[in-house]
Amino acid sequence: MNRRTFLLACLAVSLLSVSAGAEPLLVMFDKANPPFMYATVDNKAAGVYPALVAEAFSRMEQPAVLEVLPWKRALHFLDTGRGGVAGLYMTEERLKRYDYSDPLHTETTLVVQRASDPSPYLGLESLRGRTVGVLRGWSYGDEFDKARAAGLFTAEEVEGDAQNFEKLLAGRIDVLLAVKESAETCMASSNSRDKFKVHERPFARNSAYLAFSKDAHMVEFLDKFNRTLAEMRRDGAWGSILKDIFEGR
């Protein structure tokens, strides 16, 4: 267990003891999206977004339960009002249903192909007729979602990016979409970096947020969370968390 994971585990436990009179707030994360959010071997929440949320909640003296789930299930529980979800992208449709915090972090999504594939990525139209590997339950932006619904390409879903990299090498998909840091981790661990081609042109840049169902009436809470997040940016805690996790500390 690295230093940041250990500190996060200690902080998550301490969150349950602060503000004894307050009700613990459930926040859910994807269990298979390292380094941003994932489950440890003992099924604890780890990664950038659990660490940021834990630090902010500790400063707010807000007790919390941080839970890791398959992403699609987390979104289902978000819709039913069971709790909040962190690491969520914003879309037109979601804005109708959820209240959002300020951005936790902005992710860069890359297009990855086999190195032997001569087809360039020039935008969504260049995906026509191809099979694209994506994560189950994820939105990659309004334009992608509309093109997918229109049948421009075939989207195959998996639980985690590592599965898509395996499928790409095996020729079972043509292209995959993955956030930069996760893609780099997967390629490094595969020992096959030279077999992949990452396009210089990013697919998208999406901010990730903490969100709650509008039915939960969490706007006032999110305002307080936003002020705390801004404080973390000013005093360096936000940057320190990202640096430690991205550098594997």
The pLDDT of residue 249: 60
Whether 81 and 45 share a structural domain: yes
- Indicate if 100 and 114 belong to the same structural domain: no
Burial class of 246 by CB neighbour count within 10 A (0 to 12, 13 to 18, 19+): middle
User: What single-letter amino acid sits at 147?
Assistant: A
Asked if 167 and 201 sit in the same domain, the reply is: yes
Same domain, 113 and 173: yes
Calculate mean pLDDT across residues 226-249.
Answer: 95
Does residue 12 contact residue 70 with C-beta atoms inside 8 Å? no
- Note whether 32 and 53 are same-domain residues: yes
Domain that holds residue 12: 3-105+207-246
* Overall domain count for the chain: 2
Exposure string over 60-86, b if 16+ CB within 10 A, otherwise e: bebbbebbbbbbeebbebbeeeebbbb
* Same-domain status, 201 and 113: yes
Burial of 123 (0-12, 13-18, 19+ CB in 10 A): exposed
Whole-structure pTM value = 0.85
Helix, strand, coil shares of the chain, percent, nearest 5, are 40, 25, 30
Assess whether 178 and 99 both reside in one domain.
Answer: no
Q: Are residues 190 and 212 in the same domain?
A: no
CATH number at residue 230: 3.40.190.10
pLDDT at 11: 52
Q: Is residue 116 located within the same domain as residue 199?
A: yes
**Average of pLDDT values for 244-249?**
84
For the chain, give the mean pLDDT: 92
* 123 shares a domain with 87: no
Sign of CA dihedral 9, 227, 84, 106: negative
pLDDT of residue 192: 86
